[in-house]
Chains A and B, each alone.
Chain A
Amino acid sequence: MSDEGMVTQLISAHRNGDDRAGDRLFALVYDELHAMARRQLRYRRPGQTLNTTGLVHEAYLKLFDRDENGWNDRVHFFSVTARAMRQILVDYARRVKAEKRGGGAHHTELNASMISDISNNVDILDLDDAMKELEVLNPRLATIVECRFFGGMSIEETAALLDVSSRTVDRDWLKAKSFLFLAMKEEK
C-alpha cells in the first residue's frame, strides 16, 4: 500500500479510538519527517536554521491524500505531525548535548547553535521540560503550543482541531506562552 493510503487508514482508525493505529501513524510520520529534516540539513548554509513549518507542510503534501480526507482528518494529521516534529527536535537536541559532553564525534549534521536557533534562541530541551509541566496543569495549552510552534499551524487550524473558537485558542496561546516563558526563565 502507498504511504498515502496507509496514512488515510491509520487516521481513520485512530479517530475511531484505535491507539495502536495512532502509534503507527506517529511512527510513519516521524520517519518521514526525520528523513526530510536530514535532507534539508545536508544542504543548509551556515547560519541557516531548520525550517520546521516547511517540513511539516512537505510531509503533508507527501503523506496526506487530499482526495480521500476531509478537514477533520487534515487537522488530525497536522497535530500528529506537530508532535513528531517536537520529538525529532528533542531527539536532535539530546544528541547534540551528549556529543558535546563526550567531547568527540562530530558525526551529527547538527550543532548546538542550530538547535537553539530554531526560534529566538529557545532551548528545545528547556522548552520540552516546561511543556511537560504544562501538560500536567492543562493539556490543552500544551497541545496548542505543539500545534502552533512545532507544527506551524494557524490559530484557525488549531481551533478546528480542538473544536474551540479561534478566540479561545488565541487566549490559550498567550497563557501557554506566558507560563513557558516564566518556567524557562526560572530554569536558568
Chain B
Amino acid sequence: MKKLDPKHWQRIEALLDEALDLAPEAREAHVRKRAEGDEELIAQVLNMLEASKEAETFLDSTNRSDLE
C-alpha cells in the first residue's frame, strides 16, 4: 500500500465498500468486474479484503489484558 494518494484511495474504498456488502464468495468476481482490468486496483482491493479478515480482532479493546 505504498504511495497512495487520496483520490486513488477513494476508488479502493468505494470498491471495498461494494465488496463488503456482498457474500464473501461473491466479492472477488465483483471487484474484478468493476475494476475493468485495472490490475493494480484489483490487487489492492483484494489485498484489503484479505486483510479485513485478519484485522477483525486487530486493535480490539476487548482483547486487551487491561487491569480493571
Whether B65 contacts A49 by the Cβ 8 Å rule is: yes
| Complex CA–CA separation, A49 to B10 (angstroms) | 37
- Using a Cβ–Cβ cut-off of 8 Å, how many residues does chain B contribute to the interface with A? 30
Determine how close the nearest CB of chain B comes to the CB of A143; give it in whole angstroms: 14
Instruction: Establish whether residues A53 and B9, one from each chain, have CB atoms under 8 Å apart when the complex forms.
Output: no
Knowing A122-B59, A137-B4, A148-B59, the reply to whether A181 touches B54 (Cβ < 8 A) is yes
**Residue B67 CB within 8 A of the other chain:** yes
- Cβ 8 A contact of A148, one of B54, B57, B61: B61
* A132, CB-defined interface residue at 8 Å: no
A5 cross-chain contacts in B, Cβ below 8 A? none
Per the 8 Å Cβ criterion, residues 1-25 of B in contact with A are 1-2, 4-6, 9-10, 13, 16-17, 20
CB-CB nearest in chain A for B6: A137
Residues of chain B with a CB closer than 8 A to A44's CB: 67
User: B67 contacts A53, CB within 8 Å?
Assistant: no
Contacts from B to A (Cβ < 8 Å): 1-2, 4-6, 9-10, 13, 16-17, 20, 47-49, 51-52, 54-61, 63-68
Query: Which chain A residues have a beta carbon within 8 Å of chain B's beta carbons?
Result: 44-45, 48-49, 51-54, 117-120, 122, 127, 133, 136-138, 145, 148-149, 152, 171, 174-175, 177-183, 186
